[in-house]
Structure 1
Amino acid sequence: MGFKQENYYNSEERIWYGKPERTYFSKDQSIGEIIFREMKRHPKLIAQISDTENTILTRQELLLNSMRVASFMRKMGMVQTDIVGIIARNTTHMFAVAYGCFFNGIAFHSLNINYDESTIKKLYDITKPRVIFCDGDDYEKVKAATAHQNVIIVTMRNHHKDSISIDEVLATTVEDDFKPARLEQGINQTLAILCSSGTTGTPKAVTINNSHKIFSYCPLTIDDVQYTPSSLDWVTGLLTTVTSGVYSTLRVITDNLFDPARMLRMIEKYKITWLLQPPPHLAMIANCKEFDEAKLQSIRCYMYGGSRTSIEAQNSIRSRLQTDCMTMVYGMTEVGIMAAINQNFDKKPNSAGRVVDGMKIKILNEENETLGPNEVGEICVNNGQHWSGYYGNPEESMKIKDSEGWFHSGDLGYMDDDGYLYIIERKKDMLKYHNIMYYPTEIEQIISQMPDVAEVCVFGIWNQFNGDEAAAAVVKKPGSQIQAQDVVDFVQSHTDVIYKQLNGGAIIMDELVHSANGKTNRVGTKAYFLDIKDRN
């Protein structure tokens, strides 16, 4: 599956442009209207298979369920300014809830199931949902977090005695002339509210609008079989939900924690063609014992992004694919879709790729001056569309998006002479040892060369005399006998500068701490490291 990329660089403006975007749908159509029409066009196609719940839904069945959910909300008297809450796994009827919201022009605010009661309360105090769809396992937590609000709670499974079950919702009568609602604010109206990564504190409520950009970069067909482990609280989960509806694909879902062995079995069983996952999952697949015997011939698009992964893991998976279809992507939740795609791994293996259609990228220094090729600064992205900001937080919205429409990513990087983007590090991850600046990834790249290392996370430990002393948490490969001191010694032998030594030490972990979307959480891993050190 190819993305044709044609970029150009304006040397006077020092801005890199993707080619003008194209759309095959009327621009005034909402995503809900498009999906409604496409579902009616292909009623007999299988829309969804749950590998964990052993359920199958045709597009006709999924459409009817979605209309029932939409009708339930209409009978509640909900209007387009209302919000629906979602905090649930990828279970059988979850996507009828999403499509029901799309049909009504009502945005949902989706949170991750791992959020604690305090975080749920803070976020839902902002958006104040009228109804929340959650798993029965999380009912008590959600109920406690929203006890001060007048919220109806619907459970998706393992139903609580005090909740409404999704089965009751799906018994709602649908009017014969049911139609999706026209958007009162057009395509600038909010489609969904997701969460920022939360690695720097309480997540922010990120609005995503009805722009067709969210699906225009995914050339899918009815022959495709899609899978992503992401749930609806991440933009990758939203992207897959939208594209499977728009392009009439078959979507495979699971509601369990990510299991690389299970995913490999699913690829073979369902002939999955389209994958989207975070890099840590990619590393887990490449290092699991079932990988050598896995049959991956069906895959024609393997996308991953959101954080770094080793060249070794990427090459391991590429060597097993029938076609050169691994694609690294770069984007921001706030932008609503990827901003760069790398389709030239062999020549640019460490690059996040070139600018996608309809996007612009520039690099800024500390004085907010634009930089040219090969100059490192903050990556800024312009998608040329309206953004409603962080819901209920105009101050933070103005910090990330300036008056000229540029999103300030907080990522440091540069564009090379061929217009390929390279990510160096998050600005906030920059460390100083004796006032010498360095980045954790520089040391992670050294440690990743060790044959026994599966994953690594490096961070700074504050020392009142030295500043940030580098420390590492390492996950070893199965069967390895590697010790923490081996990691420290390896780094010492592979760099001759003191500030890049593991002056803060190292530990071996069974698993790194990850954010809810699968990204390595540097803050959380560091907290675990400090806790272990304190106890020892």
Structure 2
Amino acid sequence: MFYKPEIAYDAVSKVWSSRAEFDHFAPDLSIGEIIYREMQRHPQQIAQISVTERTELRRDELHLNSKAVASYMRQLGLLQTDIVGIVARNTTHLSAVAYGCFYMGIAFHSLNINYEQATISQLFNITKPRLLFCDGDEYEMLKAATKQLDCYIVTMRRHVAGVMSIEQVLQTPVPLDFKPAKLQQGNNQTLAILCTIGTPKAVTITNSRKILNGNLMLTTSDVQYSHRTLDCLTSLITTITTAVFSTKRIIADNAFDAEQTLRLIETYKVSWLLLAPAHFGSLVSSPLFERTSLDSVQHCMFTGGRCSLRVQQALRQRLSSDGMHFAYGMTEVGSWATLNWNFDEKPTSVGRPTAGFQLKIIDERNAARGPNELGEICLHNGQYWAGYFGDPQESQQLRDAAFWFHTGDLGYVDADGFLYVLDRNKEIVKHQNIMYYHNELEELIARMPQVADVCVFGIWSERNGDEPAAVVVKRAGAELQAAEVVAYVQQHVAAHYKQLIGGALIVDDLQRSPNGKINRAANKSHFLQVKGQIEKSN
């Protein structure tokens, strides 16, 4: 039997709507004010355990550290119009930096540690942070990336001589009358800034209660684990909800390790597991998977891409309840727009809209479509959005005049109101949760003097998500081998996620649509067919 949250379908407008939102907290309180109040509850309860740094913080300790970070920002004279930059792993004091920003009403702009220097420089030149928290591992690169900015840097781990450390920041005296700041723009004010794909855009996240959607059942007995870093919406959600709902949070600052994750699930009795699809693929493939107890896991959630049904079913068989949940949304809407509570009945769906969301499917003429009809997925969250920081033109292209977000994803809604996503945006490669446009690699490969044309796409794998691959047309009379294309990319791109992990194929011509445009799906299909034939012959 389906779990049916209050959801309605309007046959005239062809819009699916969830129930209206309800407030658990006074409507005038910001996310920072809510966290400030809730962190004072259960002061002796363990708030966070770092399995890599071997640290443990009680809620009162984390709350004091957060106030010290906020007090340090006040000493520097930071205002709510300023931005704080973050490029850091999940270390012991990163949560205090986030909460300190929330207490001050200052938005932070968080970037992935794997971004190239040029990308970081471009993004931070958009928001111009006055204060930057980073790991010592990347200090020199970040110093170079922000050399044109008046930016003060604090290191979070592996500290650099002569540079302020987070431990020094935590020594800042906290005034006895310390209170979190009131937001100058109310709850329409930006809470955080994350990043989107391709041409870098800084996505503003609003101080909205919707960020709690899908987490309202959390209690003080829950133990949360998410391996993603703070540049990701799911990590932002986990950072906020662990404070609001007084859960215990497990963190790690190393690269994802399946065996380590399985051990910590069993050791700390994780009940709320939120990972990327590729991470779940690694867990299932681990030799420890069948020998590890998953009895504590009540909710196993993933978002940000597809996870094979084989992996989902392998996980489901190890769970004591229907705890498999696929969430769907986009960074721009600031929360999960849909959530599937019914894996056993609807294993390939991303679920129904969460509280306060509306959903519709449109055709090429922007006309709404009905149940079981295919089209582009559009979302409406009924809240203010400041758009892409400093880029109103791009903001208007994503969100139309009626405030509908056009996702670019293809899907349909069935007769029970469950959304199915058939294809993510075709212009995106998403490798190990880092996203970029295909044309970034295409433009690079096209610089090779032997190359006439090129098409790049992602070959999906359970472990990595998209593995970039290319089909290449060589110039007339030129000599070119697939291995040379792979090597060229290696020589000119430092980022591991932009390597041609899926390989390359030399072809006579690219597959094209009737109007002459490159057909990415057809080129990918041809690539897989040829590779399959080669593997069989070997």
Which TM-score band (shorter chain)? 0.7 to 0.9
Question: Which residue of structure 2 lines up, in the alignment, with residue 5 of structure 1?
Answer: 5
Match of 1:296 in 2: 294
Aligned counterparts of 1:246 and 1:62: Cα–Cα separation in 2: 13
Counterpart mapping for 1:234-383 below 5 A:
234-383=232-381
What SS does the aligned partner of 2:332 have? coil
- Output aligned runs, 1:17-416, within 5 Å: 17-196=17-196, 198=197, 201-218=198-215, 219-416=217-414
Question: In the TM superposition, what whole-angstrom CA distance separates every residue of 1:71-126 from its partner, at most 9, and x where no partner exists?
Answer: 00001111100000000000001110000000000000000111111111101101
Structure 1 counterpart of 2:449: none
> Any conservation in 2 of the 1:296–1:320 contact (CA below 8 Å)?
yes
The AA in structure 2 aligned to 1:373 is P
| CA shift in 2, pair 1:139/1:20, >3 Å | same
Query: Secondary structure at the residue paired with 1:373?
Result: coil
Deviation at 1:461, TM superposition (A): 3.3
Q: After the TM superposition, which residues 492-531 of structure 1 pair with which residues of structure 2 at under 5 Å, given as runs?
A: 500-502=525-527, 505-506=530-531
TM-score, reference length from structure 2: 0.81
8 Å CA contact 2:195–2:203 kept in 1: the answer is yes
1:440-519 superposed matches below 5 A: 461=471, 500-502=525-527, 505-506=530-531
- Contact kept, 8 Å, 1:110 with 1:232, in 2: the verdict is yes
Indicate conservation of the 8 Å contact 2:202/2:388, yes or no.
yes
SS at match of 1:505: helix
* TM-score, L = length of structure 1: 0.82
Residues of 2 paired with 1:114 and 1:387: CA distance? Answer: 28
Cα contact 1:23–1:216 (8 A) shared by 2:
no
Please state whether the residue corresponding to 2:119 is helix, strand or coil: helix
Work out the CA distance in 1 between the residues paired with 2:224 and 2:330: 22
- Contact kept? 2:225, 2:274, Cα under 8 Å: yes
Report the Cα offset of residue 4 of structure 1: 5.6
1:458 shift after superposition: 8.4
Query: Residues 461 and 504 of structure 1 are in contact (CA less than 8 Å); yes or no, is this contact kept in structure 2?
Result: no
Q: Which runs of 5+ in 2 are unaligned?
A: 429-437, 439-456, 475-485, 487-501, 504-521, 534-538
Cα deviation for residue 455 of structure 1 reads: 7.1
Q: Would the aligned equivalents of 2:133 and 2:156 in 1 still touch at CA under 8 Å?
A: yes
Taking a change above 3 Å as real, the CA distance of residues 141 and 348 of structure 1, as seen in their structure-2 partners, is same
Deviations 1:441-468 (A, max 9, x none): 9x96xx99xxxx997758773669xxxx
1:346 deviates by 2.4
Structure 1 Cα separation of the partners of residues 153 and 419 of structure 2: 44
Deviations 1:28-73 (A, max 9, x none): 1011111111111221111000000000000000011000000000
8 Å Cα contact 2:471/2:523 also seen in 1 = no
Q: Equivalents in 1 of 2:174, 2:78: separation in Å?
A: 16
SS of the aligned residue for 1:506 comes to: helix
Identical amino acids, percent of aligned pairs: 51
1:523 aligned residue: none
SS in 2 for 1:395: helix
Structure 1: distance between partners of 2:471 and 2:270: 43
Could you tell me how far 1:347 is from its partner in structure 2?
Answer: 2.4
Q: Distance in 2 between matches of 1:58 and 1:90?
A: 17
Q: What is the Cα deviation at residue 504 of structure 1?
A: 6.4
Q: CA distance change for structure 1 residues 176 and 507 in 2, over 3 Å: closer, same or farther?
A: farther
- CA offset digits 1:475-503 (Å, max 9, x no partner): xxxxxxxx99xxxxxxxxxxxx9995546
Comparing 74-83 and 370-379, the one that deviates more: 370-379
Do the aligned partners of 1:3 and 1:217 also contact (CA within 8 Å) in 2? no
Letter in 2 for 1:267: I
Amino acid across the alignment from 1:215: L
Where 1:16 maps in the other structure, the secondary structure is strand
Mapped to 2, the partners of 1:203 and 1:26 lie a distance apart of 36
Q: Is the 8 A contact 1:229 1:253 kept in 2?
A: yes
Secondary structure of 1:340's counterpart equals strand
- 1:140, distance to aligned residue in structure 2 (A): 0.2
Taking the aligned partners of 1:420 and 1:503, their CA distance within structure 2 comes to 31
Give the count of matched residue pairs: 463
How far apart, CA to CA, are the structure 1 residues paired with 2:531 and 2:166? 48
* 3-state SS, counterpart of residue 109 of structure 1: strand
Following superposition, the deviation at residue 375 of structure 1 comes to 1.4
Cα drift, residue 428 of structure 1: 2.5
Measure the CA separation in 2 of the matches of 1:46 and 1:374: 47
SS of the aligned residue for 2:25 comes to: coil
Give the whole-Å Cα distance in 2 for the aligned partners of 1:390 and 1:300: 36
In structure 2, C-alpha distance between the alignment counterparts of 1:156 and 1:58, rounded to whole Å: 19
Query: Which residue identity is paired with 2:65?
Result: N
User: What is the rounded CA distance, in whole Å, between the counterparts of 2:466 and 2:105 in structure 1?
Assistant: 43
